[in-house]
């Protein structure tokens, strides 16, 4: 096929090609991007010029034996962050985003300064009992004294995850300073761009019967 024949073919298929770029490819690219970014959660790292692993969640090395200890970093039983990756196709473009309020601080890292409320303390006690594997008790926020030589002093040492929640439940601070490490799951990716380019080229070839 010479250049004139190729030009004639392009003109004849212009409507189909425009439909591809205007409506079909934004949906295809959006779906591919969503799959790619959600796969980052499964791989526990961001893929861009290779896999960049995330810092591991502390609970994974805390020794806890409950169900939450088996979930990967940024994953949970509900998987809100994972399932909130979405795409919104438009004409000739697509927007991929995660609009959860805590998505940016996980994606880019940073600090949060929440106010310590009674509800937060109750939540911390519940998480403490869950992480420690102890039966849930009425949480008053008060420490009970232990007699020297009592059986209580022979209890196994609490794991780091349980201690973290216990400290939160008992803290006297009114505001916390929590540093969140960067665990990027969405953004520019060389591998994703290459996959989309190959898919678009293939779709064009189908239209042109090449």
CA-to-CA dists, residue 185 to 1, 8, 166, angstroms: 44, 44, 30
Is the Cβ–Cβ distance between 185 and 140 less than 8 Å? Answer: no
DSSP letters along 12-46, please? HTHHHHHHIIIIIHHHHHHHHHHHHHHHHHHHTEE
CA distance 21 to 63: 51
Supply 3's token pair.
Answer: 């250049």
Instruction: Using the structure block, give the residue that is written with the tokens 């020297």.
Output: 148
Is the Cβ–Cβ distance between 201 and 153 less than 8 Å? Answer: no
Is the Cβ–Cβ distance between 160 and 168 less than 8 Å? Answer: no
Give, for all 210 residues of the chain, the pLDDT tens digit.
Answer: 667 776 777 788 899 999 999 999 999 999 999 999 999 999 999 999 999 999 988 766 555 555 555 667 888 767 899 999 999 999 999 999 999 999 999 999 999 998 999 999 999 999 898 888 776 554 444 545 555 544 445 455 678 888 888 999 999 999 989 899 999 999 999 999 999 999 999 999 999 887
pLDDT of residue 63: 54
pLDDT of residue 73: 81
Task: Give the torsion sign (CA, 159, 161, 166, 167).
Answer: positive
Supply 12's token pair.
Answer: 């004849």
Supply 118's token pair.
Answer: 């009674």
Per-residue burial over 68-99, b = 16 or more CB atoms within 10 Å of its CB, e = otherwise: bbeeebbbeeeeebbeebebebeeeebebebe
Q: What is the pTM of this model?
A: 0.75
pLDDT of residue 135: 60
pLDDT of residue 132: 82
SS3 label, residue 53: strand
Instruction: Using the structure block, give the residue that is written with the tokens 């940073």.
Output: 110
Residues 6+ apart with CB under 8 A from 210: 204
Is the Cβ–Cβ distance between 116 and 171 less than 8 Å? Answer: yes
Q: DSSP code of 100?
A: -
């Amino acid at each position: 096929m010479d250049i004139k024949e190729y030009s004639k073919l392009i003109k004849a298929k212009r409507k189909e090609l425009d439909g591809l770029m205007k409506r079909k490819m934004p949906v295809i690219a959006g779906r591919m991007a969503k799959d790619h970014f959600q796969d980052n959660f499964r791989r526990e790292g961001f893929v861009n010029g290779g896999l960049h692993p995330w810092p591991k969640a502390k609970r994974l090395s805390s020794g806890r034996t409950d169900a939450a200890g088996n979930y990967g970093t940024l994953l949970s039983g509900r998987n809100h962050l994972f399932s909130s990756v979405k795409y919104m196709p438009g004409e000739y473009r697509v927007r991929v985003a995660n609009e959860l309020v805590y998505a940016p601080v996980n994606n880019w890292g940073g600090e949060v300064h929440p106010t310590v409320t009674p509800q937060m303390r109750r939540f911390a006690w519940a998480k403490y009992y869950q992480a420690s594997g102890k039966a849930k008790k009425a949480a008053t926020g008060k420490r009970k004294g232990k007699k020297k030589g009592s059986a209580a002093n022979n209890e196994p040492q609490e794991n780091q995850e349980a201690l973290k929640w216990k400290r939160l439940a008992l803290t006297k601070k009114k505001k916390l300073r929590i540093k969140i490490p960067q665990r990027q799951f969405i953004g520019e990716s060389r591998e994703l761009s290459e996959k989309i380019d190959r898919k678009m080229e293939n779709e064009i070839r189908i239209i042109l019967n090449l």
